[in-house]
Structure 1
Amino acid sequence: MFHLILTACIAGSSEDCAPILLPEAETGTRTECEAQAERIADAWLKDRSGLIGAGTECQPTEELTALPLQQVAPGIHVYLGDPVQMEDSADGKIANLGAVIGEASVAVIDTGVSRAQGQELYAAIRRLTDLPVSHVILTHMHPDHALGTSVFKEAGAEILGHAAMPMALDVRAQSYLDSIARLYSPEEVIGTEITLPDRTVADRDSIDLGGRGLSLQAASTAHTDNDLTAFDEATGTLFAGDLVFRELAPVIDGSLIGWLEWLEVSPKPTPRVIVPGHGAVTDSWAVAIGPQTEFLTALRDATREAIAAGAPMSEAVPQITKSLQDKNDAWNSFSETAARDATAAYKELEWE
């Protein structure tokens, strides 16, 4: 199989360029790919006035830059991100991403921090199968999980997310794009766009990949207000998104109390494989959520204590953060995240 690669450059800067994989031109031969290259490249550039083309090339699948995927269960392949905060990463590839291969099609769970990473995930899937990517499931709106979606949309996939995700992502869109442009090189972010869900899940839904199904469940406000999990019935694999953090310190962008309530109820059926949003895959639910539950519980208790003592937020946040220092060695990016979480917790719990 051959794939069209457009070299796209920032207008007025011939040095700031990146390869753009255009899946519409995917063909069985180089000749077929080259025959439609100019038309497809021009059409893609037409609506992107800030970019100009600097040539095209048709590459075989084996020459594409691809993410390393690990098979964690039959037909389940996972990219394990570097479990640090985006500010501590050279390229933002910090989130775990997944691919579920059925008999008829493929589902992708989260797409990464940029179009570049989305393309590398697409290439990795193409090294495994020629089946179409029919669905993308976005576990929540955060940029490290959701900004690589456009390449899959162009490939014909239906994009699914929590019912609250379109608004949540739309209002943060420009700040997310500005953030990755500030943190990473132009080559890493050129072509990155916001892609909203085509279909949303308010409670439960399911998709069929042929011979296997994925069950989707929307959570109440927890890590964010738009968390969505995906469960592969064939293998018992749960893609928990950022409802489960391992190694990287948990970040509250929704509700501390809501998150703890979600953690109190074990999923049914009990998953045999848990893929967290960050950190290592495990086959134990207790192992998956134990340290995170301990951290969030300690955060809740310390925050309530500071509020009960009458400490204003400016004094309470350092006190709460200090009380959590015994957990510092258990988490990456702990200091910055603990202070942020203490602020979020105080704002939530002062109104109890």
Structure 2
Amino acid sequence: MYHLIVVACLASSPDICEPRLLPAAVSDTEQNCLMRGPDIANDWFARHVEVAPQGKLNCVATKELPMLEVKEIASDSFVHLGLAEQLSLQNQGRIANLSFVIGEKSVAVIDAGGTRAEGEALLATIRQKTALPISHVILTHMHPDHIFGTEVFIEAGATVVANARLPDALALRAASWKESIPAQIGARAMLGTHLPTIDQKISAPTVIDLGDRRLTLTPIATAHTDNDLTVFDENEHILFSGDLIFQGLTPTIDGSLTGWLDWLKQGAPQPEIALIVPGHGPVQDSWTAAIAPEEHYFTALRDTVSALVGKGIALSRAVPQTVSTLQPQAGAWVDFDATTARNAAAAYSELEWQ
């Protein structure tokens, strides 16, 4: 396979340039790729007015593209493990676990990465494994580290599937993310990155068939966010939990503490789970091991904040007291103090009304 590469530069800062992969031009030969390239490039730049072309088009073989390191955790099921960090200039937003599953007829991607560049690298990795069409991109929730790589798969012909509540959540945050995410990971890392559109909005369990490979998608009541979604591979008994399960990186409440604890306490969604792929952290083969650190953390957070609310302690005092009380758990989590302070504020706002 040959892939079209263009060089795009920020219109506002012409010295910030990056190569971009445009998958619509993929061809069996370099010549065909180059013949199709100009029209596809013109269309892409017309839709990405914040960047401008520089230099000539180029077509390269799959093996020459930047790729992500992935592990095959079961037959035709692959996972890229993100860094256990918060967003930064150094990690360029590449902190989430990204997965793909190959069926007999097509491929499904589960979370697409934190930038277009990461999505392109994931696409190249998939193309190294199979030439089958990518039929679906499944987004487990709204957060940028999981969704900002999606557009490259849209251009490759995939249907984007998400919780029905996700589009509204994106709309509420789009303007602020346009400023805050480039500031956190760098304008160069974000170059050419656009928010995705959602094609299939699900509000009830839904099955996707990749050809002798069935994935069950289940929207979840408000927990980590108000638009969480799990994916269960029925063939290999793998649960892709998204950020409903964190390992290593301190979990962040952007939905409901009590709702999240309720989900954890319900037990394994499918009794036959063999592997759990969390949104952050290593793959687990035990439901108990997968959720225990998070459940312990959230239970302590709930109990601590509830007690402070019951005593009438003001939010400004409750937050540092909660961080101090939970300090014995700090060694198990990355970015513990800052994230716990945010979680304490969110929990206080939720629990004071209960």
Alpha-carbon deviation of 1:184? Answer: 2.4
Partners of 2:24 and 2:40 within 8 A in 1: yes
Structure 2 residue 123 is the aligned partner of structure 1 residue 157: no
Aligned to 2:266: 265
Q: Which residue does the alignment assign to 2:351?
A: 349
Q: Which whole-Å deviations, capped at 9, do the CAs of 1:207-254 have from their partners, x for residues lacking one? A: 010011100001000000000000001100110000000000110000
| 1:9 paired residue number | 9
* Per-residue deviation, residues 102-122 of structure 1 (Å, max 9, x unmatched): 000000000111101110100
Structure 1, unmatched stretches of 5+, are none
How many Å separate the matches in 1 of 2:8 and 2:165?
33
1:227 corresponds in structure 2 to 228
Question: Any residues of structure 2 matched to 1:179-198 within 5 Å, and which?
Answer: 179-198=180-199
Q: Cα offset for 1:159?
A: 0.3
Which residue of the partner structure matches residue 38 of structure 1? 38
AA of the residue aligned to 2:31: T
State whether structure 2 residue 96 is matched by structure 1 residue 95: yes
Task: Say which SS state the counterpart of residue 293 (structure 2) adopts.
Answer: helix
Q: Distance in 2 between matches of 1:188 and 1:177?
A: 13
Contact persistence 2:87–2:185 (CA under 8 A): no
Pairwise mapping of residues 119-268 of structure 1 onto structure 2 (< 5 A)?
119-266=120-267, 267-268=269-270
Q: Deviations over 1:64-90 (max 9, x none)?
A: 001111111111100100011114853
Q: How many residues align?
A: 352
Q: What is the rounded CA distance, in whole Å, between the counterparts of 1:40 and 1:203 in structure 2?
A: 37
When the two chains are superposed, the root-mean-square deviation of aligned CA atoms in Å is 1.1
Per-residue displacement from partner, 1:303-338 (whole Å, max 9, x unpaired)? 011011110111111111111000000001111001
How far has the Cα of 1:40 moved from its partner? Answer: 0.9
Distance 1:88 1:296 in 2: 29
State the partner residue of 1:316.
Answer: 318
Q: Deviations over 1:44-67 (max 9, x none)?
A: 111222211113110000000011
The runs of at least 4 consecutive aligned structure 1 residues that moved more than 6 Å come to none
Structure 1 window deviating more from structure 2 (304-313 vs 172-181): it is 172-181
CA distance in 2, matches of 1:33, 1:7: 16
Amino acid at match of 2:59: C
Q: Determine if contact 1:110/1:145 at 8 Å carries over to the other structure.
A: yes
Is the Cα–Cα contact under 8 Å of residues 248 and 278 in structure 1 kept in the other structure?
yes
Q: Give the TM-score, by structure 1 length.
A: 0.98
- 284 and 221 in structure 1: CA distance in 2 versus 1, 3 angstrom threshold: same
Give the stretch that moved more between structures: 274-283 or 168-177: 168-177
Q: Distance in 1 between matches of 2:161 and 2:271?
A: 23
What is the DSSP-based 3-state SS (H/G/I as helix, E as strand, rest coil) of the residue aligned with 2:57?
A: strand
CA contact (8 A) 1:23 1:151 kept: yes
The alignment-based identity, stated in percent, is: 47
Q: Measure the CA separation in 1 of the matches of 2:128 and 2:215.
A: 22
Q: Which residue of 260, 274, 289 maps to 2:276? A: 274
Amino acid at match of 2:9: C
Amino acid in the other structure paired with 1:182: A
Larger CA deviation: 120-129 vs 182-191: 182-191
Q: Distance in 2 between matches of 1:88 and 1:3?
A: 28
Q: Which consecutive unaligned segments of at least 5 residues does structure 2 have? A: none
- What's 2:71 paired with? 70
Where 1:86 maps in the other structure, the secondary structure is coil
Query: Could you tell me which amino acid in structure 2 is paired with residue 225 of structure 1?
Result: D
Instruction: Identify which of 274, 291, 295 aligns with 1:293.
Output: 295
- Quote the Cα distance in structure 2 between the aligned partners of 1:88 and 1:265: 38
Cα separation, 1, equivalents of 2:210 and 2:26? 21
The answer as to whether partners of 2:88 and 2:185 remain within 8 angstroms in 1 is no
